[in-house]
Every structure is written in structure tokens, then in C-alpha cells.
Structure 1
Amino acid sequence: MRISVIGCGYLGAVHAAAMADLGHEVIAVDVDAAKVDALAEGKPPFFEPGLPEILASSLDSGRLRFTTDISEVAGASLHFIAVGTPQSENSGAADLRYVHAAVDALIPHLGSTDVIVGKSTVPVGTAEALSHRLLAAGSSATLAWNPEFLREGFAIKDTLSPDRLVFGFGEGPGALQARSALRDVYSQAIASGTPVVETDLATAELVKTAANAFLATKISFINAMSEIAEVTGANVTELADAIGYDARIGRKFLNAGVGFGGGCLPKDIRAFSARAQELGLGSSVAFLDEVDAINLRQRERVIARVIADAGGDAAGLRVAVLGLAFKPHSDDVRDSPALDVAQGLLAAGADVVAYDPQAHGPALLRLPKLNLADTLEQVLVGADIAVLVTEWPEFVALDPRVAGDLMAHKRVVDARNVLDPDTWRAAGFHYSSLGRP
């Protein structure tokens, strides 16, 4: 099929490269000329494992092109909207200006049987509004919704081999054609047994926001339990293991620690709350405000723990911060707990040195005064205390004997509960974590 992808950020660049890898002819459009030029040269502007390789092969095949000229989408039959929906500056609501602008820019170049497919995460009701926008402009193109469920660090796999596909359609005459087009574009995944949920537009929009709200709630729940565990002497990891055996609950996302971050969960739960307020149903998701509050409180708990474990005074304290990205296998520092911990320690007067395998550039854009080390060993040299805030494999596998030889004092705060306490204590470390004795 000949398809277009509007927006070449994280979602759009991955989707365009993956669709071309599946054999489709893809034209990807973005207003950022520098980003387009970089992608056209096979250089992603962000870190995502496997993307450089699939991008290079798709470009070499001739099936993938990047452009700033929206008119080049003419002739494509399927148009994916993959632009960002950031949090509004003055509220928790989603900023939909880029979604609206993308559709408006597409309209003059649409054929009568074209299908626009929303992939961006939007508040429920957005698709209905966009359908009216198309009608008002005199376009007979059909709108469908196909939410994304990408995990940063695994985005290529999640696009090529998704765990489910959700298609949302309206009631117009083009719904059958849209269904056929989406089943064609994802034919390989469907043939391999990927479940397909076909539903209405509103449900398709809600699937993504509800999924993110549920995951955020699960993470904040176990972090709330970690607070109680610390006061009572319980072990939150063993608690999670025990309740995780219940098939109704499950063990995934029950890992207590510094909390969630990134460009999706935090802003999506805030946007969900804002939309519910608009619908007069704020009480239905009022719990999400506390989910958000618990998550942000975890960052403060880690900052306080580091200072307390080092003697109670941050002034002049040399802290080695291990990690800056919000999760491993990513360079994304948007709403990153790790970056907030580093910033909070700096504000308290500590001498902070940080190391992350991939996120130095993005971190410096947000925190220019941060001192960075070139290697894991370098960040530990002379440190009074280390705090692990992003669970990169090299941090998890760090030998405490090696760390102890480099540091001024043997102290570590495990803000992700991924290190073995007995091993670190046996090496002479003062070890502490969240919710474990």
C-alpha cells in the first residue's frame, strides 16, 4: 500500500520505518526540516534500539521517504496522524493544536476514498470533532482510529509484532473501506495471530488512555504500599511477589521504586482527568490525582533518603546519580524521575555528578548546570553516596567491590529496588531502598 505518516517524532518515525519494512511505500512528513534531513540520512534524532538499522534498510529499499512538503502525500490511500499531544502549558489538558493542524494540512490533498487514521493519544471525543472538521471542509475522506501501544526501548517489536490491534470506526459509508485498508496494512501481524479489536471511535480513543491510567495506578499503588512497608518493617518486594501470584492482579508493574515518567503516562493521566472534568465526570477519575501525587512524592522520598543516608546535610555532598532517562534503553528525559532527583539534590546544595549511557544530550538541554561523567566508573570516583535511579543493565550488574574501591564512602540508595541488598551489604555498603528493610 502507499501510505503517509504525518509527524516524524518518536511515534511517527518508528511507525514510518516499520511500515516500510513490512513492504509498504511510505511518505513521512514533518514541519521540522532539520529532523526530516536527519531521518532522510538514516540518523534518528532520539535513541531507540533497532531503529537505525530498520531505518537504513527501509531508506535503501526506496520504500521510505521523508519530506516537509505535505503535498507529496497525494496518491497515498491511508494517512496516519502521529503528531504529539503534549500537556497544555496552563492546565493538565492535552494540547491538540498539532492534531488539528495535521488534519487541516491534509485536507486539500485527500482523495474522496482516502482514510485518515489517528494514532496520536487524544482525549475521547477528539475523533468525533475531527470528523465534523472534515465534513465542514467538504472532504469525503473517512476517519478511523488506531491507537499506539509502544514501549520505549521495544518500539520496533511493538509495531511489527503488537500484542493487540485496536481499530475504531465511525458509522459513515467509508467504515468498511477503512476496515479493509487497516486489515491490509497490518496483514502480516493479523496472519500471525495478533488479536484485533474492532470498535467505535470513542472506545478506540479510550483504550489508550484507560490502559495508561491503569498502569500508572498499579505502579502508584505498590509505591504507596512501600511507604507503609517502611513504617511497619514489611518488605514491599515480597509483598508484590505474594499478591502477584493472584491471577486477577498479576506481578507485572508491581515494582516499587522512584515511579513512572516519560512522555506518556504522566501527561496522559492528567489529560484524562482534565477531559473527565470537561464531561462533568471529574469524580469518576478523581483517584488519578492521587496516583499522580504518589508518583511525584516518590521523587521527593528518594532525594530525602539520599541526604539522610549521607548524614543529613546535602551541602558539599558528592552524589553519583546513576541514570537520567526515565527508563533504560531510552534517551527520553521527559518527566524523568531520575532527572528530577538530580535536580532536587542540586537545589539542596549537593555536588551532583551523573552518568547515563544514552541521555546526556537531552538531559543537558533541560538541566544545563548538571555535571556529567563519561563512564560508570568515572561517576563513582570520590562519591560520598550513589543513587541508582534508572535501571540500566550495567548499573544492575555493577560489582559492589569495584564500586567501593572507587567511592569515598560506601553508601548506595537503590531507588529502583533492583540490587541485591545482601551482596552490597556484604561488600561493606550502607544499602537502602524503598519499602524494603
Structure 2
Amino acid sequence: AGWIEPRPTPVRVAALAPGVVEKLLVVEDQPVKAGDAVAQLVKDDAKLAFDRATADLKLREAELDEAKAQYKAAETRWKLPVHLEATLRDAEASLAKIQTALKNLPFAIRRAEADLKAADTDYEGKKSAEGVVAGVEIDIAKSKRDSATALVEELKDRNESLVKEQSALIARRDALKKQLELLVDELEAKEQADAKVNAATARVEQATVALAEVKLRLDRMTVIAPSDGRVFRLIAHPGARIGSGMTQMEGHDGSTVVTMYQPNILQVRVDVRFEDIPKVSLRQAVEIDNPALPSPIAGQVLFRSSEADIQKNTLQVKVAIADPPPVFKPEMLVDVAFLQGSEAQTTSPQKQVIRVLVPTSLIFDESDQSYVWVADQSDQIARRTQIETGVAMGNGVVEVTRGLNVTTRIIATGTESLRDGDRIRITAEENTIGRDLK
């Protein structure tokens, strides 16, 4: 006897992030495809972290936009320093005004001296005629002379201050020209703005990575199937904490949620007694049977286990099933027969040609189509199966070239009122029809 099991092992479906199981989305033996959700973890914390990371990314992007705007302004001031040109033009205008004042100063002094001479003459004349001219007229004349004297002195003193002011404006103009030529401050501001853009870009990239991490964790709150197959066992239950280092599950690590198997890739685990081990060899033909099968199917020895069961005095042998039937499920009990010598040769399709011969009494014709009634023993129903016939062999039999195989069970009686899919009950097997055929 042996037991069906996944080949080579069950597929472990693990939670890729720690959490608490909210609900299972599958049941045992349910078919699933790669990417289908099998369980949902509680995702409230992961959703909050995702929202926070999303907001942080938006903030960093806004900071980057601000830094880019500052860089653009600094670059514009560096390429088109109109603010320095305006300051330089103001300095040049002030210098021109001073230079004009210096140029006009001698004429102003000569005019003031002439006015002083006239005022002095007027004053002296009126003073000499003091008895004739009113005293107030003399005082007015004296005041005009004093004002003219002060203006002359002021204009003479102004020359020195204007020269100094001119020198200062020349120095300022030259400095502004040099500043406009070198653009040191503008270049520094541009480089600083560029550095701020780079820093803001790096912060955006950091926020993007952080968002991707929390989104990955949020996505991992949904446990998905890694491949096509069927659910084998439900390991975790709703409310169970999985994925942490402290979680322990019997036979599995703490992150396993369910296990799966592929129904088209199965094997048989057989306990072979020690004394029978020499009779088992690699790739040896095997016959596998089960009450759910219409007939035994073929298998082949994969390998012998490297560890023995000393309590049962047996060694496990793994047997491959070439084309597992749909009724086979893991842990199903089957009968296993290891074929030896001529037994293996007679079952080998390379050593003999198998021909399917069917009595003509079991073949029906309708609309130029031949068919037989086949018993589906696994579902206990009748199936109308179309066939193609070959050469009539005599003795009331004909070769069937397509539609049947040697394991097919044909319904011999009670076919008069059968319809495709009708449920049937097999009461006995007909062993006399065609017994003498070779």
C-alpha cells in the first residue's frame, strides 16, 4: 500500500509580511491560479503608513518645486544681471552729475564774485550817503553783501568736497563694473540653488522608496498563490499572528498560511519492507490501483529514501505517476505492485503492440457515426463515446482504432434506454464475451 502526495513536496504559500489573519479566501482542494488571493491580513496599520508616506512624498515634491523655482531665478540673475546694471547706471549718473557740477563750479564762482562786487559797491555807496539814505536800506545792502560773500566762500569750499565725492563715485562705479563682470554673488547663489535642487531631489527619491516599501507591505497584506494548483491544507486560521519570529506552527514555519499541490504532478509514498528492498530498482515499472479507478495505471520508481523507519522496519520508496487521474488526491490510499521481469515487459508499450478489439454487438451506429456506451466508474454514470473502427477480425469482433483504450469498461447490457450522463449501477462484469479472442 502507498499514499498519494504532492511531487516533490507541497507548495508553501507564505505571508511575506508579519500580520494577523483577517480571513481565509479559499477552502481545501479549491483550484487557484497564480496571483489569486488566498488570505487577507489585517491592513489598518499598513494603510496608515501608506497614507503617511504618500503625504510625505507630496511634501518633498513641493520642496523640490520650490528649490527649482529658486534655481531658475538665480540662474536668470546670473545670465541677465539687470539688477547690477541698474545699480551701475545709477552710480554713473551720480558721477556724471558731480562731474557736471565740478565743470560748472568756476563759472558759478565768477558769477558769485561778480554779485559780491556789486553788492559791496552798493553797500559802500549807501553807507557814504548815510544821512541821505534810510538806515534800513543800508542794512539791506549790507545783508546782500554778506550773503554774496558767504556764497563765494561756499562755492570755493564746494570744489574740495565735490572732488572727494567724485573720487568715491568713480571707485563705486569701478567696483560695480567689476562685480558685473565677475558675478560672484550671482554665481554663488546659482550654485547654492542648484545644491538645494539636488538635495530636494534626493529627498523626493527617499520618499519615493519609502512609499514603495510601505505600498509593498500593504500589498503583502493580501497573500497570493505563487503558482497554479489546488489548496492542500489550511495552516493559519483567522485571528492567528503570522510572520513574526516568535510564531511557531507544527510542521511549518511561522509565515505559512496554506499549502498547495499541483494535481498533475503527484507521486506515491510506499513503505517497503527491508527484505523487499533488493527487488526495487530505479525506474522500475509499477502498477497503481484504487477502487476509484476503472483500471490500474502505470507508474515508475523515482528513488529510494535515504532514511529508514526502524520502528516499522521499512524504507520509503517514491513512485512517479505519469498522468495522475483527477480522482487522485494527496493522502489517498492506493495499492502498489512492483512489476518484475516479464510482468514489466508485458506492461511496457515499447515491447508489444496493444490492439483494442470490441464485439460488434456492443457497437452502435447513428448518422454514419459509431459509438459505444462506456461506464465511468468514478462518477457512476454512462457516457456515449464516439469511436473509429478498423479491420473486422472475424468471430464477431472489430478493431477500434480511436476512442477507447485497454482500461475502458464498455456497458454490455441495459443500453436500450440509456442517455448520455445517466447514472448507472454496475451489478456484474461480463467475462464471457470475447474471452477466446487473441
TM-score, reference length from structure 1: 0.20
**Structure showing greater Rg:** 2
More helix by share: 1
Q: Which has the higher contact order (CA 8 A, sep 6+)?
A: 2
TM-score, reference length from structure 2: 0.20
More strand by share: 2
